[in-house]
Amino acid sequence: MFFKSKKMSLKTKSTSVIAARNRTQKVGRRKLEVNIPKKIINSFAAGLTIGITILILQIVHFNLDYGIGSSAIIYSSVGSSAFILFVMPKSRAAKNSAVIISYVVASIVGYFSYFVSQYSGLAVASTIAVALTGAVMIALRKEHPPSVGLALAFVLFRIDIYGIFLIIALSFIIVGISYALNILIKGTERDI
């Protein structure tokens, strides 16, 4: 009798474990269905952020000062940053401090590398720009990969000190827009 009741309790436990797994899978599917529309909305918010940023660059005539290619690299870096801020907000790279500090580091290292390029050539200066920017971000524990492209832009397009201030301002603008839009998005999620 003792053995039978023990076998029955094992059966009951295994049945309840299977039922719990099924509930988890159902919840997991619902969670996935809820997150996809949210991520799509966040993707549009990232697009809006890059649109505003490009508008600001056009207002200050950045294309005219440094050539079309320089702003293309900056646009792509800012676009990547906006995507990370909105679609992957819980990642370490999406922290506001990581975005701002990494852009400051990339601007300063890029400007330094620009001077190196005048004496050592483009290949050496580009290597220094990418490697040193990455090393400093890792040492500070503020990694934000899109900012490395900006350091390279300083070397490739000979961006002067004006570019440092512009990039730092853009990093604050990106973070500010993402903060405001995230509040707006969270507010509309509650309404839905």
Mean pLDDT confidence for 56-71: 65
Which pair of tokens denotes residue 26? 């159902």
Q: What is the pLDDT of residues 19-53, one digit of tens each?
A: 544 444 454 454 445 577 878 888 888 888 888 87
Contact 185, 41 (CB under 8 A): yes
Q: Could you write out the DSSP letters of every residue in 15-38?
A: HHHHHHHHHHHHHHHHHHHHHHHH
**122 CA to centre of own chain:** 28
For 121, left (φ over 0), alpha (ψ -120 to 50), or beta? left
Contact 181, 45 (CB under 8 A): yes
**DSSP class of residue 91?**
S
Q: What is the pLDDT of residues 150-160, one digit of tens each?
A: 898 889 888 87
What share of the chain in percent tops pLDDT 70?
A: 73
Contact 191, 173 (CB under 8 A): no
User: What residue type is 97 in one-letter code?
Assistant: S
User: How many C-alpha atoms does 192 have within 13 Å on its Cβ side?
Assistant: 9
For the whole model, what pTM was predicted? Answer: 0.73
**pLDDT reported for residue 5:** 52
Which pair of tokens denotes residue 174? 């990106």
Residue 83 to residue 190: CA distance in whole angstroms: 23
Return the closest-CA partner of residue 164 out of 111, 101, 97.
111
User: How many C-alpha atoms does 29 have within 13 Å on its Cβ side?
Assistant: 5
Residue 133 to residue 92: CA distance in whole angstroms: 17
Residue 172 to residue 44: CA distance in whole angstroms: 20
User: What residue type is 102 in one-letter code?
Assistant: S
Q: Which residues contact 104 (CB under 8 A, 6 or more apart)?
A: 167, 168, 171
**Band (132; pLDDT cuts 50, 70, 90):** very high
